[in-house]
Amino acid sequence: MVGFSNENGNINYSEEVLAKIVGLSTMECYGVVGMVSRNAGEGLWQLMGIENLSKGVKIELTDEDKLQIELFIMVEYGTKISVISNNIIQKVRYSVENYTGLKVSSITVNVQAVRV
C-alpha cells in the first residue's frame, strides 16, 4: 500500500491501482503496442492484455515518499523510441500526480520489443 496523510486523514492506494493508472496512461501514447511482462526471461516477451497491464509496471516507494516507476513496453517499428519514451514519461507523471496526489521521483521506460 502506498499513501499519504493530511489534516483530514489517510489515503492509501494499492500497488495494483497505481500500476493500472500507469499502464492505461502508457497505452494512450502513440507508438506503444503494449505492455510486456517484466518477468519474461530468455527473450520471450508476452504482450499483456488490457486486464493485465499492471504486469508491465514496477512501482517502488522511496524514502522521501515519492514513487519510482519502471515500465516494460513494446513499440511499433518505425517510430522514434526517444520521442515515445518522453511522451510516456510526461503522460504517466501527469496522470499519477493528478489522479492520486502522490509525487513521482523517476520513471524508467524499458523498450523490450519492437513489433514489425
Which structural domains are found in the chain, ordered by start? Answer: 26-115 (3.30.70)
Long-range contacts, 93-100 (Cβ 8 Å, 24+) = 94/25, 95/21, 95/22, 95/24, 95/25, 96/18, 96/21, 96/22, 96/25, 96/67, 96/69, 99/21, 100/13, 100/18, 100/21
Q: In this structure, what DSSP letter does residue 48 have?
A: P
Task: For residue 46, give the amino acid letter.
Answer: Q
Check pLDDT > 80 for residue 64: yes
pLDDT number for residue 100: 92
Check pLDDT > 60 for residue 115: yes
pLDDT number for residue 77: 94
Check pLDDT > 90 for residue 111: yes
Beta-strand runs (E) in 14-102: 32-35, 57-61, 66-76
Check pLDDT > 90 for residue 91: yes
Mean of pLDDT values over 15-40: 88
Whole-model pTM: value is 0.85
pLDDT band for position 65 (cuts 50, 70, 90): confident
